[in-house]
Structure 1
Amino acid sequence: MTLGQSSACAGTCPPAGMAATLSSVITHDVDEQAALLRGWNQSYAQLSAGVFNGSISETSFSGIHLFVEQTDNELFQTGVLPSNLCAVGVPVRFAGTANFCGAATAGEALHVFSGRDGFEFHTPCGSVMGGIVVDIDDLAASFGDDEQQAVFPTLREAHLRRANPKSTSALRQMILGAFDVLNNSPQLIDDAAHGRAMKGALVSTLAQALTDEQPDTGPSIAPAKRWLIVATARGLVMDHPDTPMNVADLCRAIGISRRNLQYCFQDVLGISPAAFLKIVRLNGARRAIKTAKSVTDAATTWGFWHFGRFASDYRAMFGELPSETYRRFHGSGIATS
């Protein structure tokens, strides 16, 4: 693992076998800030008066790159990414209205930075943007063939992308949660299994957010077959009780699109496949807590990266905090790492 200053591959997706990195940099120069996301070919122009203040936190692991960028000044940004990457930003905070590729936004939409002609971005003072950069081939693996045909043509140009607020929020929380986990437990960045699980969850969540914009054409699966599909999905999950699965894993295994899997689960169980998997992961985390060294280890093993949300969901499901479960099985030892 590399800690401290950003590496030469920062801002792009390093090969899956390359050493993982985690860094945080504070800047007082607008050009230095623009250069931090290497490979983006960015140029920043400061529009508001005063000393420039900015920062960026970055991490790269398992062929994926995450960042959180903060700028205190009003800026006009331009950039263009390599054609093999998909880069999507999720606003964390806007202190006013921004304009992305000609469209006004108050921070409620996804920002697709990648695309053949690059992007233009006018940001207000006090902006915080989270982002994920993933190889196009890795993203494609999270879609069925029909979804690729529907989604990928829409990613050819940088644009402001409307998505379901829940999906946007989930992606934002997962990006921020990843930094929380790695900053609190930096040893996890060198854990290949954790890296693969985190990458799978992030790419699956991104794919869901990108799919939300596509038109709803309605299910084309007979009711009896919907029941069989749900039974197959449940069987896959239950046959691998110690392996966290995501929606993309189920779609690939069954050979079905996300949208049709959603229809099947809603019709048969009354919940989404993501909600079903979350329940399974909560139960898996509860089992793991009984023997794990810490709640953190158990939570991250089962794909929970936002500890505050994990504790809340865990208490809602089991009537106690994960730390309380830990202490019942481990005595009064430290519940978190």
Structure 2
Amino acid sequence: MKSYYSAQRFSDAYEHARNVANFDQRYFQTENGPFEGTVRQVDLGGLHIFTERTNRQLVHRGQVMPGSIVLAWTSSASVAPGSWREETRVPLVGLSRGGSEWILHRPSDTELDGITMSAVEFDRLIDALGVTTTRNENRHIQFMRGGTAFSVLRSGIREMSWHAERFSCADARATIRKQLVDAIFCALGEAEARHRTDVTHLTYNDMVKRCHDLILGNPEFPLTVLDLCTELRVCRSTLQTSFLKVTGQSPLSYLRRMRLCGVRRLLRSTSTVQMTIGDAASRWGFVHLGRFATDYRELFGELPSRTLRPGAEN
């Protein structure tokens, strides 16, 4: 029998990201300590509801599958993704269409709620409402202070686990789906698009994203801060400011943690026969294995030799 509701726990950020349905995404852990994540998901026939919580600071990069849209928002973090230490008092909802990649910088202890659905259905309903500002590929939607529709939607998402035993009944699923779709578009009808754009912050975000691309494109040849400054044609202080504003970390710390995440993904996806720890480390430019092992344990809370690999039990 098909399962319409699932609740999972993860001890690895990469595995967590892979198990959220309808996304092609990767999580890069940037805060020290063992990772813990939970994901609750509901499938309502083309309407997918998810709630996920992560305990560590992450870089969240990916896209929703082609032909789909996603509406997502944080519900229990003191800062908004992509806005390091920037207070968020009114819900900020991200809207993205399939094939359009995003990169978010999520604080620790963040809970993220979201909905994916067919872009065809979304556009048909949004046009019927006369709301045209959401046609852009990626944008933020700012909900009005005191608005009630979004509160109703959030409550509906929170109550999904209460209805788990009802999802085996087709009529119950159809009723719950109809109620949620109504709540989604009531909330969008109440929303107002953000008119003010912080150009400086967008520039900082773009700079960090370009650096992220460069890091992933040159795994065996670790880039230095000077390399990044030269490639982007910016001074060291500008690069430093960009990383501190967006990620809360220095460029050097961010570079190293992205490479450690790369090694961890290699270890998690290959057996000890296919690849040694030393080979995985060298592929991401780590030469001094003692220092590498120390940094790996500091970030992930375990030595690389204790990381669970295919075909082995730790």
Match of 1:62 in 2: 45
Map 1:263-302 to 2 at 5 A: none
Query: For residues 83 and 64 of structure 2, what CA distance do their matches in structure 1 show?
Result: 15
Q: Distance in 1 between matches of 2:101 and 2:86?
A: 17
1:212 pairs with 187, 190, 195, which one? 190
Aligned-pair CA distance for 1:67: 0.8
Match of 2:5 among 19, 22, 30: 22
Query: Could you say what secondary structure the match of 1:97 adopts?
Result: coil
Aligned counterpart in structure 2 of residue 43 of structure 1, from 21, 26, 31: 26
> How far apart in 2 are the matches of 1:207 and 1:80?
22
Residue 162 of structure 1 aligns with which residue? Answer: 142
2-side partners of 1:105 and 1:86: how far apart? 26
Within 1, Cα distance between the matches of 2:98 and 2:135? 10
Native 8 Å contact 2:74 2:80 kept in 1: no
1:196 maps to 174
The one-letter code matched in structure 1 to 2:178 is: G
Aligned to 1:2: 2
1:180 to 138, 141, 162: 162
For the residue of structure 2 that corresponds to 1:73, the secondary structure is coil
Is contact 1:71-1:126 (8 Å) kept?
A: yes
Residue 34 (structure 1) aligned to one of 6, 11, 17? 17
| Closer, same or farther: CA 111–146 of 1 in aligned 2, 3 Å | closer
Tell me how far apart the structure 2 counterparts of residues 63 and 210 of structure 1 sit (CA, whole Å): 19
Separation (CA, whole Å) in 2 of partners of 1:83 and 1:151:
20
Structure 1 CA distance, aligned partners of 2:155 and 2:61? Answer: 26
In 2 relative to 1, CA 138–102 (structure 1 residues): closer, same or farther, beyond 3 Å? Answer: farther
In structure 2, list runs of 5 or more residues that go unmatched.
Answer: 194-314
Give the aligned residue type for 1:76. Answer: V
Q: 1:112 deviation in Å? A: 1.9
Q: CA RMSD in A?
A: 2.5
Equivalent AA in structure 2 for residue 211 of structure 1: G
Q: CA deviation at 1:117?
A: 2.5
Contact conserved, 2:17 with 2:27, CA < 8 A, in 1? Answer: yes
Q: Output the CA distance in 2 between the equivalents of 1:61 and 1:27.
A: 24
CA 146–64 in structure 1, closer or farther in 2 if over 3 Å, else same: closer
Give the number of aligned pairs: 190
Answer with 113-122 or 69-78: which moved more: 113-122
- Do the aligned partners of residues 120 and 103 (structure 1) sit closer, same or farther apart at CA in structure 2, a change above 3 Å counting? farther
Are positions 1:121 and 2:104 aligned together? yes
Aligned to 1:320: none
Percent identity, please. Answer: 17
* Distance in structure 1 (CA, Å) of the matches to 2:59 and 2:88: 16
Contact 1:90/1:172 (8 A) holds in 2? no
Map of 1:140 onto structure 2: 123
Return the offset for 1:76.
0.7
Alignment CA distance shift 1:105-1:113 (3 Å): farther
| Distance in 1 between residues matched to 2:40 and 2:52, nearest whole Å | 7
Aligned counterpart, 1:323: none
Give 1:72 deviation, angstroms: 0.4
SS at 2:75 equivalent: strand
Aligned-partner residue type, residue 166 of structure 1: T
* Superposed displacement of residue 35, structure 1: 0.6
- Tell me how far apart the structure 1 counterparts of residues 191 and 178 of structure 2 sit (CA, whole Å): 21
- Deviation per CA, 1:65-109, whole angstroms, max 9, x where unpaired? 111101000111011112311211132211x31334899563721
| Mapped contact 2:142–2:192 kept (Cα < 8 A) | no
Counterpart amino acid of 2:58?
L
Q: Who is 2:223 aligned against?
A: none
